[in-house]
Amino acid sequence: MEGRQVVVTGATQGIGREAARQLAAQGARVVLACRDVERAEAVAEGIRRQHPGAQVEVGPPLDLGSLESVRSFAAAYKKRHRRLDCLVNNAGTNYTKPWFTPEGVGGLCQVNYLGHYALTRLLEDMLQASAPSRVVNVSSVTHRYGWVGEVGKFLSSWRPGSYYPSTKLANVLFAYELQRRLGEHGVQSCAVDPGGVASNIWTGSVFSRPPLSWFIGNLYAPPSDGAAAVVHAASVPWGQERKAAAAINARWMGTDSSSNGSSHGRRRRHAAHAAPDLRFYARGLFASPAVTSWRGTPQDPAPGLLDRVRGALWGGTAVVASLLDYPLRRITGGRLNSGTRPAPSAPLSYNAGLAAQLWDLSADASGLPCEPQIAGAAAGALASARD
């Protein structure tokens, strides 16, 4: 990562702060994209003290809950900087009361998904001009419980649209669709599951109160450990794991063509292209078949009895994995469960038709063109922004 320009969203606490710290320690020039600039300045100063010579700066204010703020950040970033080698879409929230943006988008969906979609699209010219570049979407094991329902209503609904697992599923769908559209133009896009982490994401839930808070605080990984998976996804040479990713894609791609996701988006653009190199990274037990083999009932919010039993069994397995993952790593001094590697994501996440529909819906909601700016046109737009 030496000398590479990286933007990390949500870097004032938790996984984002630790990912920024680790990337800066590896020599990256890190820009903290945060809503609270004052707290971000304190984080930047802390990183510089811990790693003398680290190149860390605080970017313009970024409130992912506001499309206006996202647009302002992107415009200001282009004026300040000449390149963008890696964008880490990390910021997220959970356990909030229902709220909606002025555009009618559910709050969790806006912060966890649409804000990052719009940010990435607004910076897509810079990412192409800096190719090979990378976009990392931080997802969660819970994306395996997510569903989309009627695509046209996803952004404006509180459930499933602002149901946390569904926003994390949307992160993976977006990561894969970005790879389909811009992968051949030098933008490498992937998603990552950081595992069970004792972060602020639990605040305001039953898990933040005893006795469950004890399990989270003592058995889940600290943010610095969870950030390791994110940093791996941001920094591993893309070609190094191509064969492993290809084997996963050959098995899982197209496994779910059910329900409304089976239809193509407004315009299908990829039929003649080679199979995309889709990447989902997970660590330790979260990359094990016990967790990744869950097929789920992603399009059915009211599954039948057999599906509910299967879901409960898998849920129990995932909980056990989350409680054992970090303790095994800690007890063995990192000899077990330390590796981050490509793993299968939820079957629904490979549904290209559903991803294309969600992309087009998100473009309309963000006031962006459905087609990304490509190559020469992107370079010209970037040059104009710098002038």
Residues belonging to the active site? 164
Rounded to 5°, angle at Cα 302 from 299 and 307:
80
Q: Indicate if the alpha-carbon torsion angle 175, 180, 184, 185 is positive or negative.
A: negative
In order of 284, 322, 326, 329, the CA distances from 213 in angstroms are 22, 14, 16, 20
Residue type, 185: H
The candidate with the shortest Cα–Cα distance to 92, out of 107, 77, 103, 71, is 107
Q: Cis before residue 102, ω within 30 degrees of 0? A: no
How far is 147 from 259, CA to CA, in rounded Å?
11
How far is 67 from 274, CA to CA, in rounded Å?
34
Q: Indicate if the alpha-carbon torsion angle 344, 299, 116, 11 is positive or negative.
A: negative
Residue 147 near residue 300 (C-beta atoms within 8 A): yes
